[in-house]
A and B are shown apart, each in its own frame.
Chain A
Amino acid sequence: MADIWIELGIWVAALYTIFIFSFAYRDNPLFKFAEHTFLGVAVGYNFVRALSAIRKYGLDRLAGGEVLYIIPIILGILLYFRYHKTLYWLYRYGMSIIVGVGISAAFVRLIDAQFLRQIKATAALKLVTADPATTLGNIVFLVAVVTTLYYFIFTFPVLHTGGAKKVADAGRWFMMIAFGYSFAKTVIARYSLILGRLTFLLYDWLKIPR
């Protein structure tokens, strides 16, 4: 009995996969049907996950004696007032806590992680080494970091005029090379995604031997 449900599942999954892929050729009712199914199940699943998180991290704590958790639970319910015509402002109280805690938790650490340690790692480069390729590489590295940073200084327009513009241009050239690399990586990432679906269609649905 379970096998029938698995086989049915494989067919349902395969048909939905083909319906979604059909959009690449043109929009059609089968794609719209699959798209609306996806939205429905995705939102339904996420709602269940929200309920389980609220129970686990809120209601269970309240039941366990941590009475202060009544405050975030009430604020969480008030978040849904954003859909109300006149009482929409009630959601701002909960949102303020999320934003205040979230933003400051991130940026206090960011100064060290994304700023100081990056500068330290750049400053620690040895510009003269035994290997010529490494020496050239380290010099290019330092020049690229500085010129890329220079490119993004827009506060003083004079830095992008005349002879000084050449520094910004150098930064742009280095970024072009970096974006060429990113393009190729994007292609392989996308192909990896589609290959996952194609292996399902071929091996699980059409039962082609692996």
Chain B
Amino acid sequence: MAEKKSIIEWIEAMPREVIYTIMLIVLIIPLIRPLGIPVPVSARIKEWHEFIQNLPEGSYVLVSIDYGAGTIPTFEPFMLATMHDLFSRPLKIVIMTTYADGPICYKSVMDKLKPEETYGKKYGEDYVFLGYIPGGETAMKAIGENLPKAVPMDFYRTPIDQIPMLKGITGAKDFAVVVTVTPSGDVSEGWIRQWVTPYGTPYLCCVLAMMEPTMMPYYQAGQCKALCTDAHAGEYEFLIGKPGEGIKKLDAFSLSLTVLAILIIIANILYFVLKAGGKK
């Protein structure tokens, strides 16, 4: 006959269904009833924003939407805030993707951004979308060396030589900055290898929070001018005055991370209590 578990043993080895339910409740409550916690703005996001704001007028910016449909919920708020920041300035923005489902992400962002209505921008003169370029790192190499040769037409099948803003653009040397938002370490490091190292192009990189430590050495070495994560979206929206999905998540982060930390502490205390009692 199985030994009956004490309440301490039950809490220490809480069934996963109970843990999931607690997690869902703690995540949902702040979304329905915001806690009203002030938004802290970190130095990193200020660095990102200031770099964009200090770009000279007419600078060419390469934005690479290097995430797929699976990470739209986490990256789109940050990408949208970055696009707002870029489009609010007189810059020439060349958008591309090295992910096969990148075009889905581009359309999703542009449907919300509406650059023509919001900023009076014109496709082909102020911004252009080159579409999906296969090859990963070799794609980055190809467009860095010779963009017109690597990409014969844009996403809408307009030949590159017929796009006004791309006249005279040959490659990485003509760009003031390359911006990427990606969950992939290969992609975030690939831009450093193929654009930053040979051409010295400044690089702004947004990665998944858990990839941030792998990019920190590049940031510290100056190979990356600004390094942010998907979790910075709320701060960015607050900074540029364009509240969106990112800000809504901040209260949920506050509650969920605190509750998780407290639960882990409780579990460890109970573990040591049980160990002292000879039950572990």
Contact = CB atoms under 8 A, between A and B. Distances in A.
Direct contact between the two chains A and B in their complex (CB within 8 A): yes
Interface of A: 24-25, 45-46, 49-50, 52-53, 56-57, 60-61, 64, 101-102, 105-106, 109-110, 112-114, 117-118, 120-121, 178, 181-182, 185-189, 191-200, 202-203, 208, 210
Q: Is the interface of A mostly helix, strand, loop or mixed?
A: helix
Most chain B CB within 10 A, of A45, A101, A199, is at: A199
Contacts, number: 136
Contacts of A53: 132, 134
B9 interface: no
Interface of B: 16-17, 20, 24, 27-28, 31-32, 71-74, 76, 100-101, 103-104, 131-132, 134-138, 141, 152-153, 157, 189-190, 192-194, 196-198, 208-210, 212-213, 217-218, 220-223, 229-231, 245, 248-249, 252-253, 256-257, 260
Contact of A186 (B16, B32, B189, B209): B209
A61 B159 CA distance: 11
A109 B230 contact: no
Contacts of B16: 24
Given A53-B132, A106-B193, A195-B73, A186 B17 contact: no
A196 B245 contact: yes
Contacts of A196: 72-74, 76, 245
Most chain B CB within 10 A, of A53, A196, A203, is at: A196
Contacts of B100: 45-46, 49-50
Contacts of A64: 152
Given A56-B153, A196-B72, A200-B73, A185 B245 contact: no
B209 A185 contact: yes
A25 B16 CA distance: 8
B260 A187 contact: yes
B22 to A, nearest CB: 13
A105 B137 contact: yes
A60 B152 CA distance: 9
Contacts of B103: 49
